[in-house]
Structure 1
Amino acid sequence: MIGSGIFVSPSGLLERTGSVGMSLVIWISCGILSLLGALAYAELGTMNTSSGAEYAYFMDAFGPLPAFLFSWVSTLVLKPSQMAIICLSFAKYAVEAFVTECDPPDTVVKLVAVLAILVILFINCYSVNLATGVMNVFTAAKLIAILIVICGGAYKMFEGNTQNLENPFKGTTSSMGHIATAFYTGLWAYDGWNNLNYVTEEIKNPSKNLPRSIIIAIPLVTMCYALINISYLAVMSQSEMIESEAVAVTFGNRILGVMAWLMPLSVTISTFGSAHGTLFAAGRLCFAASREGHLMSILSYVHVRRLTPAPGLIFHSLIAIAMVLSGTIESLIDFFSFTAWIFYGGAMAALLVMRYTRPNFPRPYKVPIIIPILVLGISVYLILAPIIDQPQKEYLYALFFIVAGLLVYFPSVHYGAPKIMERFTVFCQLLFEVAPTQSIYD
């Protein structure tokens, strides 16, 4: 769960809520919502232990079309936008370390983000062992950065720097749309609360360990995020946080002195590792969805010597690059969160539907029925409130991709792929030196 979000979201969330107090309420509320959603997912994950997560639940409750739409939107929207946000965050912190007198130019930030995507693509295409090794090495950086922020903030609090926490609710926004988009910003930092459902097959005794891990982990992350925001406010005022392009770098410059370089270094390493992990997983999503016949078959092919899913990785990276060049961190977070909560709400609906269609199905863990109802209601609010209050083109794009999925499903999946795709597949096989996994292992 802990990735780039806590280093980029605080400024935008504070600006949208209008007050320190409401921003902390939103941070804690996002943690509670993530906890409730994850507990509902725990029931789904113990009912169906296949590692497809939402894809498997939609297939069970609604059939192949909604399952296809999830794999379609995840591949074309959710995973690429997630990677684009993380790489833009990486670039902003990397460039910020070399710019002290002014904000870093957007063009430079975008070019660095594109370069990061290309480097990560090369690593993932070159070797699976290299990709997993890089991921392991970079994991600890995020924890170092968080420890620096919390300890530094505690030191300042003990010195008596609490003036930024006085009158905490002064200036709170009254716009329900702004509150909903503030939730988008906060929930981006918590995204990943459902990731255990993608590896349910590999969890020992999932009926006990899945809900147990959720109940332990998410409250700890919530407490950690609240402490980080309080630490930021012990060093910076509300206006300074809002104006900062890289709030953790500003924090480091204020509190670490000659060691201020540690902060941007830790965050850039953390975000690079997070982006790397995102592409690593996304390439496998392309691989799995296309193997089921829900995407172009070429995306399920692997390199004949390196055994990496190169076509899926390249496809995903190209979409992420397009999003980097055309969007900003804030717009992409709105785009991602709006789309993601359509499907999170769909998973809650799937749980409720299966309570009636499969009442006697084994449920090793059963969540109280009020929890999925509550999360479904909140997801409907998060989807509709921003559209009603302040429509943005990002929401239209998300809905366009979903409708486009409907138009693609019937001619390409339900009735079979057109013959022209066979020639395209052969061309890509020769170009990328890839082949179906079965032929390689045979």
Structure 2
Amino acid sequence: MPQQHQDDVSEKSDIGEVDQHAVPTLDKRQFVIKGDLQYVGESGHNNAEVTYQNVDGAPVEVTNPLGYHVGWWTAFFLNVSMIIGTGIFSTPSTILRGTGSVGLSLIYWVLGYLITLAEISVFLELAFPKPQYFFPVAFAVQTVILQFMSSNGFVLASYIFKLSNRAPKDWELKGVAIAGLTVVAIVVVANNRFALGLINVLGWIKIATLLFITFTGFAVLGGAFKNIPHPTANFHNSFEGTSSDGYSISNALVSIIFSYGGSTNSFNFTNEVKNPIGTIKRTAFGAVSVVFVLYFLVNVAYFAALPKATILKSSQITASLYFQTLFGAQAAKGLTIFPILSAFGNLTAALIGHSRMVREIGRQGVLPWPKFWVTTRPFGTPAAGVLVTWFVSVIFVLIPPAGNAFNFVIALQNYPSSFYLALTTIGLFFIRRQRTRLGLPRTEYRGWTFVAIFYVLANVFLLIMPWVPPKAGINASAFGFFYAASSLVGLGFIVIAFLYYVLWIKVLPKLGNYSIRKVVLDLDDGSVAHKLARVPNAELQAWDAKHDPAGHSLASSEELGTEYRIVEENKV
């Protein structure tokens, strides 16, 4: 919004007088402007407080076309069902191999919990807009290309074959993984309320499964299983064998973070939750705390029932070996249904949450064809996000060798994610400074500064340590080939995001003699989105005179009752 237009607007009483104390209501929009800082305050029908955000953010949908079907328990289980997936059944052996000792592996589960709490705190407050469109573009590339679910698809397939007592060939494992992903995609696309209800049911089953393992672990420690004569053996000299290999230690931390992944899933449903900040804050912190206690006790149960050497060899089936040791091979075969249900619930929660995330990226306008990404037709669900996520997941099922795919895919996803999260968490401090300069009220939730710093350091650690070669040689990686392959591929995706941004936002406008401007799209299903329009530079002044800073036409702004507050440059 050019300075001249700002001055003109501030003088027009029909658009709204400058009011230093005006607060937008449900039927009113307010812009707060200081130089190139432009924020807009809006509210929706979900009883949320007025949200002030940079004008480049996705426009608020006053009435959400996806409905308001996410209550307290659904928000809780959206997190629980995505956190408790395959990690607790499959990665304890990976973490034990990386840390080298029982004691350090248990400490890692505590460390993962603390990092996850920090992540939740940052996500409750986070949104970083500068430089214009760069972070949305980077997040879009990471989300659309790298937030695939192939790793959990592989584990689901592995447990299905374990249930059938078969050793699958590579193509069989991949085929079953794709079939599982396809079934989940159909469920999520077909009916929103059914998918959310299914997540609640499977969430209870997940908690019951971990409680079952926990209580049987207590029984083992109490001596109830005579076939386990020394249940406390792993807890004697528990730090014996602790690894000093930086590569292995960092890989173990990646696996821990993977096991807690999904703690912020309910954030994807903010506009579908009544009183969202309070609800999501309590359910997110509550879900991860409940899961942490269960995770820790389940690991204690594993270490009580299984020798350390057995866990180290267990690959992705630690839970099955646990059941087999306690109840015999036949019973263990039947109990494998619980990890299968857990994996299916995790895929459902991940896909329904990720489809919302993709839709929000589309609403911001940083993807081509915004109508395709944003519409909820024909089933009242974000089908485009589901379809793209399914497609990318299938690609990453087919490309890597099946035996190494699980660990490679986790490591590959980690690198761009850690890079993005480190930068955006640093950006949180810039956002706070911007809000102070504009005189905006504190956000409804504001995390402790030391928590944000801790989260930045954790992600920086995950960016640095994967480049340290393993002591056993450059091919002694968790996925069986060159140790830095996952980091190099992840770095390549970061470069792709940067080049896409430079080409789209910088190079092409300069070559084409046009500028990029936002325009608000109102779709017939009630969806609202930004479209980034190419405006010839010769027509730029006329365009700006007809649109407010967020891309609404001034005619619609007048109907809504828009107000402008211009913060003078000499005011801090």
Could you state the TM-score of these two structures normalised by the residue count of structure 2? Answer: 0.65
Would you say the 8 A contact 2:232–2:304 is kept in 1? yes
Q: Give the distance between the partners of 1:32 and 1:370, measured in 2 at CA.
A: 12
Q: Deviation at 1:387? A: 1.6
Partner of 1:238: 308
Q: 1:277 to 1:200 in 2, by over 3 A?
A: closer
1:369 to 440, 446, 449: 449
Q: Deviation at 1:214? A: 5.0
Q: Give the distance between the partners of 1:289 and 1:229, measured in 2 at CA.
A: 38
Is 1:115 equivalent to 2:192 in the alignment?
no
RMSD: 2.7
What's the CA shift string for 1:141-162, capped at 9, x where partnerless? 2122212211111110111511
Normalized per residue, the structure richer in helix is 1
Q: Give the distance between the partners of 2:196 and 2:450, measured in 1 at CA.
A: 40
Q: Deviation at 1:207? A: 6.3
Structure 2 counterpart of 1:398, one-letter code: G
Partner of 1:251: 322
Partner of 2:388: 315
What's the CA shift string for 1:215-237, capped at 9, x where partnerless? 54433322221111110111111
Q: Deviation at 1:307? A: 4.0
Partner of 2:93: 11
Would you say the 8 A contact 1:125–1:313 is kept in 2? yes
Q: Give the distance between the partners of 2:381 and 2:338, measured in 1 at CA.
A: 29
Q: 1:369 to 1:125 in 2, by over 3 A?
A: closer
- SS of residue paired to 2:468: helix
Partner of 1:66: 135
1:149 to 213, 220, 226: 213
- SS of residue paired to 1:260: helix
Partner of 1:30: 112
1:220 to 253, 276, 290: 290
1:84 to 127, 150, 165: 150
1:140 to 181, 197, 204: 204
Q: Give the distance between the partners of 1:88 and 1:180, measured in 2 at CA.
A: 23
1:335 to 412, 415, 421: 412
1:271 to 330, 343, 350: 343
Q: 1:33 to 1:242 in 2, by over 3 A?
A: same
What's the CA shift string for 1:304-352, capped at 9, x where partnerless? 5434443432222111011112231111111222232222222320222
Partner of 1:291: 363
Q: Give the distance between the partners of 2:374 and 2:121, measured in 1 at CA.
A: 35
1:351-366 pair list within 5 angstroms: 351-359=428-436, 360-363=439-442, 364-366=444-446
Q: 1:210 to 1:249 in 2, by over 3 A?
A: same
Q: Give the distance between the partners of 1:206 and 1:165, measured in 2 at CA.
A: 43
Structure 2 counterpart of 1:349, one-letter code: I
Would you say the 8 A contact 1:184–1:338 is kept in 2? no
What's the CA shift string for 1:262-296, capped at 9, x where partnerless? 43101101111211222222223333322332223
- SS of residue paired to 2:211: helix
What's the CA shift string for 1:7-29, capped at 9, x where partnerless? 11111111111111111111111
- SS of residue paired to 1:139: helix
- SS of residue paired to 1:58: coil
**Which consecutive residues of structure 1, in runs of 5 or more, have no partner in the other structure?**
45-53, 417-435
Q: Give the distance between the partners of 1:285 and 1:223, measured in 2 at CA.
A: 29
Structure 2 counterpart of 1:30, one-letter code: G
Q: Deviation at 1:114? A: 0.9
Moved more, 328-337 or 228-237: 328-337
1:346 to 394, 419, 423: 423
Structure 2 counterpart of 1:190, one-letter code: Y
Give the percent of matched residue pairs that are identical in Structure 1 and Structure 2: 24
What's the CA shift string for 1:331-378, capped at 9, x where partnerless? 111122223222222232022223433335432443332221222122
Moved more, 375-384 or 337-346: 337-346
Q: Give the distance between the partners of 1:212 and 1:124, measured in 2 at CA.
A: 25
Could you state the TM-score of these two structures normalised by the residue count of structure 1? Answer: 0.83
Q: Deviation at 1:302? A: 4.7
Q: How many residues align?
A: 405
Q: Give the distance between the partners of 2:362 and 2:421, measured in 1 at CA.
A: 22
Q: Give the distance between the partners of 1:312 and 1:354, measured in 2 at CA.
A: 28
